[in-house]
Structure 1
Amino acid sequence: MRELREETGLPGAVLGPEVWRGRPWTAVRDGVAYEVRQRYFLARVPAFEIDTSGFEDFERSSIRGHRWWSAGELAATTDLLRPAGLAELMAALLADGPPPEPVIVDG
């Protein structure tokens, strides 16, 4: 919930089930190695204006933008998206609903 609020400005969202779980990977920031463990949850929210004022310095320097995507736009883009295979994962989620256990994903 904290990450959602910090990275989108959306307070008080109700999280649904965890739908995907990223394979752990290592990131180095300021000479310190961190093991990153991503978890992805379903949240249905009304349209809202993104507020990035809660970004940390690292996020401000590395995130180049944000926008809402349609399923078709996700499928057609050549942009690097995370998790890997996001368009296919979203299509399956929309067609079949949340999986009984989180799906392991890259990224």
Structure 2
Amino acid sequence: MTEAAAEIDRRAARVLLLDPSGRVLLLRGCDPARPEHRYWFTVGGGLEAGESLADAAVREVYEETGLRITADDLVGPVRTDRVEFPFDGRWYSQEQSFFVVRADAFTADLTHLDDYEVTSVDSTRWWSADELAATGERFYPGDLADLVREVG
């Protein structure tokens, strides 16, 4: 692997935002380098310099949904794993920790997305574990239906 193609190693905070019926809020996006590769994913993202996992989770929930929470609203992390994936022509190796936040269902506000997110995120939806298990649509992580059932 050449230096230019080096994998980007990062830490991420992911949030399973659950409504009272146990549905999880997901965002739909695409890889800008592969716009046909559409998928659903949990709220969250990479840590900024000096940020804790909890701080990143709180910031990401606001940026990606408009919902204001505090670190006290976070349960977990309920799982930590490592994934590798391509995004916008680069490879990432990401250690990610998942938190649970419970909230009433709401319409997400996407007006606080970063510039790169505006080009790759186009909608949100509340999903039940059963809907995730039955859909033919792509979502990440692949075992999300089981994880939602586990923490729901």
Length-normalised TM-score, structure 2: 0.53
User: Helix, strand or coil: the match of 2:119?
Assistant: helix
Q: Is the 8 A contact 1:27 1:36 kept in 2?
A: no
2:138 to 63, 75, 80: 80
In the TM superposition, what is the alpha-carbon distance from 1:28 to its structure 2 partner?
5.6
Q: For 2:67 and 2:131, how far apart are their aligned partners in 1?
A: 23
Of residues 61, 68, 79, the one that matches 2:126 is 68
Deviations 1:39-76 (A, max 9, x none): 21011111222011111122111123211112221111
Runs (4+) of structure 1 moved beyond 6 Å?
none
Q: Which amino acid aligns with 1:5?
A: Y
* Structure 2 gaps, min length 5: 1-57
- C-alpha RMSD of the superposition: 2.1
Percent of residue pairs bearing the same amino acid type: 38
Residue aligning to 2:41? none
Q: Is the 8 A contact 1:22 1:83 kept in 2?
A: no
Q: Distance in 2 between matches of 1:77 and 1:61?
A: 25
1:1-56 Cα distance to aligned partner (Å, 9 max, x none): 00111011100251111112231436565x77654332210111112220111111
Please show how residues 10-89 of structure 1 align to structure 2 within 5 Å: 10-13=67-70, 14-25=73-84, 27=86, 35-89=93-147
TM-score, normalised with respect to structure 1: 0.71
For residue 66 of structure 2, what is the aligned residue in structure 1? 9
Matched, 1:90 2:148: yes
CA distance in 1, matches of 2:135, 2:81: 21
Structure 1 stretches lacking a partner, 5+ long: 95-107
User: Going by fraction, where is strand more abundant, 1 or 2?
Assistant: 2
Distance 1:71 1:83 in 2: 13
